[in-house]
Structure formats: C-alpha cells, structure tokens
Amino acid sequence: MSEQVSTTTGPATASDGGTPLVRARGLVKRFPITRGIILKRAVGHIHALQGVDLDIHAGRTLGVVGESGCGKSTAARVVARLLDPTSGTVEYEGRDITNLSRRQLVPIRRGVQVVFQDPYGSLNPRQSVGQIISTPLRVHGVKGDRRARVQELMEQVGLNPEHYNRYPHEFSGGQRQRIGIARALALEPRLIICDEPVSALDVSIQAQVLNLLADLQRDRGLAYMFISHDLGVVRHVSHQIAVMYLGNIVERAGRDQLYDAPKHPYTVALISAAPTGERGARTRRLLLAGDVPSPADPPTGCAFHPRCPKARLVSGDAGEVPERCRAEKPPLTPVDGAEGHEVACWYPIEAGDEERMREIQTQDITIDGHDVAGGGSDPGIDVQPAAKDVASDSTGL
C-alpha cells in the first residue's frame, strides 16, 4: 500500500471485559444439497458453520480470517440476521434476536449494517448516489431533510457533496466503496460488518479506505466485524482476531498475542504466508499438504488433521496422524499464561515446532490413504477453494 495504514488504537488483547454488543453461541449453519428438478430432495448438506462462538464489543474490531470457503462470510450474515442459523443463538445488546420475525428485526437492523466486498455489484446502477445513500432513511421512515443528511454523510466519507446526483459508474472503485460506507452510516449503527471491504480495490487505495474506517470508529465508537483473508490488513485494523477453518474457529486471541505467539498449526501457516511489509525481508513459508476438504464431507475429529504438519510431528511418522486428532474434535481451550488466548488443538504449537514442521513439508507423504506431494499448498493464496461461502446476499439491511 502506498499510504501508511493507521493501526487500531487501544490494547490489542482478547479480553475486553463487560457485556459484548453482539454475543453468538454455538452457531451451526447447514445448506441442503438437493437433486431433482420438480421433486427436489436433499442428498446432503454443506456444513458452513460447525459450532461458532463470537463476541463483538462496542468500539472494538473483531477480525475474522481464513481461506475462502471457511465460513467467515456465512458467520457474518448469520450475525447480521441475513441468514437464519440452523442452531445456536445470536444476542444483540443482551437481547436474543435469533428467532425474531422480519418485522421484529427492523429496529435491530438500524443498529447493524453491512459493507459488502464488491463496490461495483452492491450499488444499484440505476440510482444516483443520493438515492442509494438515502435508501435506509426512506425504508426506516427517518424524517427531516434527507438530502442534507446524505450530503453530510458524503462529506464525512471523503466524497464531494456536489456529486449527489451522479451515478455509480461515474466513480472509481474506492469512491464506490465510500458510497457503500456512507449508506451503512445513514442509520447511525453501533456495529458495521465489513465483508472483505478492500479486497476488490487497488492496493494503492486500500489504505485510504482502511484509514477512513479507523477514523469513523474513533469518532463514532463503532464496532466492526472485519472479514478478510489478508492477515496483513487484519493485523492493522483489529483488536481481536478469530481464525476460521472449515466452519470452525481454531484460534482466538488479541492481535498481538496471535501474531507474536500463534498456537494453532493453521495460524502459523497463515502468518508465514503473509507479506512482512519490510524491505528485503524473506520468510520461509509453511506449506500445507493437500487441499481443503469439502464442507459437504468434513473430516471426523479435528477438521485440520488431514493437512496438519504438527500432527505428523507428534506421531513421528510423516504419513500418520494421532488417533485422537482423527476421532475427537478439540474444543477451544485457554492457553496457559495468555489471558483471552484460546486454541482448538490437541497438540498446540511449542517452541521449535515451526522449524521442525518446515523440515517435513518437503517429504512425500500419504495421509488417510491418499498420496500427497511434498511441498503442499500455500494457505495465503485462494487457489481452488473447496467451496465459496454459500448464499451470499448483496442486499443492504
């Protein structure tokens, strides 16, 4: 990025204290796989979320990271109540909103807004900027001078208020994303869910949008749920980070704790694949064996065990995985001596493990009866994901 990104202020620890603004517990989301044209029947399910717990605190940013298909965008849509969970609960300001009707959700939607990934597809090309930003005001029956309010919002996000009557095609990608941010701010929400808000933008303008989000958080006390596959971006904007893999949270910690002392092998691989941003710096990436399993047929036990280099270290055999990893799903467990740091792994990372895992990544191995070429795949690059997050919704709240 050509512009310096403002890092979030305040302690980047996992324990914020107090009642969270949003509290989600045991979120499960399954999408049916159907066959037939007239008489459709379910022949299986996509297991998008498999028991996810999340806390989002006022004025703070929760970053959620993982490869495409890990369920992070599905989790965001369930939290925003754009999707109904198969099971589990979502609380907002201490109130259970899981089973509220569409009408009952109307006041909740004023407090929870979404900024979508695609600044081109999320704006109606037939509407002017003024119409787009004023839509939430109209839908929720907000009285007063809407034009003046919209122009005020445009100025706050760095747009020229005189462009009120222009259309989306007359703006650049970064400006379109600012339009989306202004629309999200219209109802003065407490939480904004940012679903990959800069991934579709040129690198040269990503920093500008991130700095805008940081300024808005500081000035308005906003909470963010920030979805991304880019750990470099998440490190700058987040106070807390949750790492997801195949519908599960595998590690959760404060920003500094997670980057300085990751405990899950998958987190280690993600961090090793992220650019350092330092001139001339070189890092040896920890490549993972094989591909991400299909969420339609997730592995038993630990979801990460077919690709886990630490499991192969524990077994002492490059092609074997401990039976416990195969059979039992590890719960999120507190890390000794690290407040608020939790990891879902039977054999968390210890001193010296990273280098030992890199030593075995070049071996030709067989896991669960399948030959896996040494070297594996790079978790930092979205190459042939198992499944994209299902049922994306491009509508606003």
DSSP secondary structure string, 332-387? PEEPTT-TT-EE--SS---TTHHHHHHHHTTS-EEETTEEE-TT-B-TTS--S-S-
pLDDT at 380 over 70: no
Beta bridge partners of 226: 63, 194
Interval 195-238: pLDDT, tens: 999 988 888 889 999 999 999 999 999 999 999 988 888 999 99
Residues 6 or more apart whose CB falls under 8 angstroms from that of 221 comprise: 58, 59, 190
Mean pLDDT of 41-56: 94
Q: How far is CA 35 from CA 39, 47, 290, in A?
A: 8, 17, 29
The pLDDT, as a whole number, for residue 124 is 92
pLDDT at 374 over 80: no
Sign for the CA dihedral angle at 306, 308, 314, 315 comes to positive
Is residue 324 classed as helix, strand or coil in its secondary structure? helix
For the ranges 1-5, 201-205, 293-297, which has the lowest average pLDDT?
1-5
Mean pLDDT of 100-108: 93
Mean pLDDT of 314-320: 73
CA distance 177 to 162: 18
Mean pLDDT of 4-8: 64
The pLDDT, as a whole number, for residue 119 is 79
Q: How far is CA 346 from CA 56, 58, 241, 263, in A?
A: 27, 33, 20, 11
Interval 119-148: pLDDT, tens: 788 899 999 999 999 999 999 988 889 999
pLDDT at 366 over 80: no
What's the pLDDT band for 377 if we cut at 50, 70, 90? Answer: low
Structure tokens at 42: 């379910």
Of residues 232 and 279, the one with the higher pLDDT is 232
Instruction: Name the residue with tokens 């299902």.
Output: 390
Mean pLDDT of 13-17: 55
Structure tokens at 281: 């710096």
pLDDT at 240 over 90: yes
pLDDT at 337 over 60: yes
Give the residue from 174, 218, 171, 221 showing the smallest Cα distance to 197.
174
CA distance 301 to 328: 4
